[in-house]
């Protein structure tokens, strides 16, 4: 009787140690991120001196500056506006792609093509778009053939949106593919047998049941768009000021670490608040449709 108990206890111990070992890298990464967040939060209450840069203190002057500085308000508005546009275009482009992937027999191949660009570095993708959208690039050559080129397609909001949509669309498609794949095909067949047209069947069955994928993809795309740095920096060329670019300038150019830390804290809090509000609205819509 004692031997089976000892064997069970030893087995549970081995399983526990195995689980802890597998989770250890994730625990270390999460702990390091939390420590970094605490340090940044503490820095946001320090003072900045042109000579001594950051000096230890406990002051709310940096947060008060954020409320009155028009540059910060402009950067936040640009960040929010571009994130909404990128999320909307990623959804408009991504939903038909996800729908086509689910109904295709070559699903694995198309998913590979979808995620293949994510295997390249974001800097390479950004510089690739600079070449394609430049004055002598492919896009302007095609515009010149139809008599409306060349146009200025880089170092503006348009180029930032194009690069970010290219970057974010796969992250929008994959959750929607998962949601569409879980829909029972018999529901559409029943709707067709009852005389529902394909469009009506899509609006009343497929679209409401895929709201969970739309929600997941939109939240992921919006959060990453709000915190995007490479696209505004490279594709914007200094003409598109977002919160991430402003934080980089404060930290590395002016060396105003306290103000840059305060901007980082506010950006994270705003992203969390917007995502929570968006999640509630989408769930309310899904409940009303259901």
Domains of the chain, by residue range, sit at 65-289
Whole-number pLDDT of residue 7: 56
- Greatest mean pLDDT among 1-10, 59-68, 94-103: 94-103
What share of the chain in percent tops pLDDT 70? Answer: 91
Residue 273 and residue 254: Cα distance in Å, rounded?
Answer: 29
> 209, 225, 215, 208: which is closest to 278 by C-alpha?
215
Whole-number pLDDT of residue 170: 92
- Quick one: CATH architecture of 65-289? Orthogonal Bundle (1.10)
pLDDT of 286 over the 70 cut: no
Residues 84-129: tens digit of each pLDDT: 999 999 999 999 999 999 888 888 888 888 888 888 888 888 888 9
Global pTM?
0.83
> 172, 167, 170: which is closest to 123 by C-alpha?
167
Region of 59 (left: φ > 0; alpha: ψ -120 to 50; beta: rest) is beta
């Amino acid at each position: 009787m004692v031997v089976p108990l000892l064997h069970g206890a030893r087995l549970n111990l081995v399983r526990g140690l195995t689980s802890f070992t597998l989770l250890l890298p994730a625990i270390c990464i999460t702990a390091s991120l939390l420590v970094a967040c605490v340090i940044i939060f503490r820095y946001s209450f320090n003072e900045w001196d042109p000579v001594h840069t950051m000096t230890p203190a406990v002051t709310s002057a940096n947060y008060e500056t954020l409320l009155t500085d028009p540059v910060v308000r402009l950067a936040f508005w640009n960040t929010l506006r571009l994130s909404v546009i990128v999320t909307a275009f990623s959804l408009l482009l991504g939903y038909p792609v996800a729908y086509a992937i689910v109904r295709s027999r070559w699903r694995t191949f198309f998913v590979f093509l979808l995620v293949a660009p994510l295997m390249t570095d974001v800097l390479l993708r950004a510089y690739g778009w600079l070449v394609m959208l430049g004055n002598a690039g492919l896009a302007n050559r095609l515009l010149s053939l139809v008599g409306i080129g060349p146009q200025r397609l880089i170092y503006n909001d348009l180029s930032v949106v194009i690069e970010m949509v290219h970057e974010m669309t796969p992250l929008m498609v994959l959750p929607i593919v998962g949601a569409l794949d879980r829909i029972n095909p018999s529901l559409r067949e029943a709707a067709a047998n009852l005389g529902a047209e394909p469009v009506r069947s899509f609006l009343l069955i497929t679209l409401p049941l895929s709201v969970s994928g739309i929600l997941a993809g939109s939240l992921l795309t919006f959060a990453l768009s709000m915190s995007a740095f490479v696209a505004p920096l490279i594709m914007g060329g200094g003409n598109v000021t977002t919160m991430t670019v402003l934080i980089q300038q404060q930290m590395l150019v002016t060396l105003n670490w306290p103000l840059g830390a305060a901007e980082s804290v506010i950006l994270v809090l705003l992203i969390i608040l917007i995502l929570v509000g968006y999640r509630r609205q989408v769930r309310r819509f899904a409940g009303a449709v259901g």
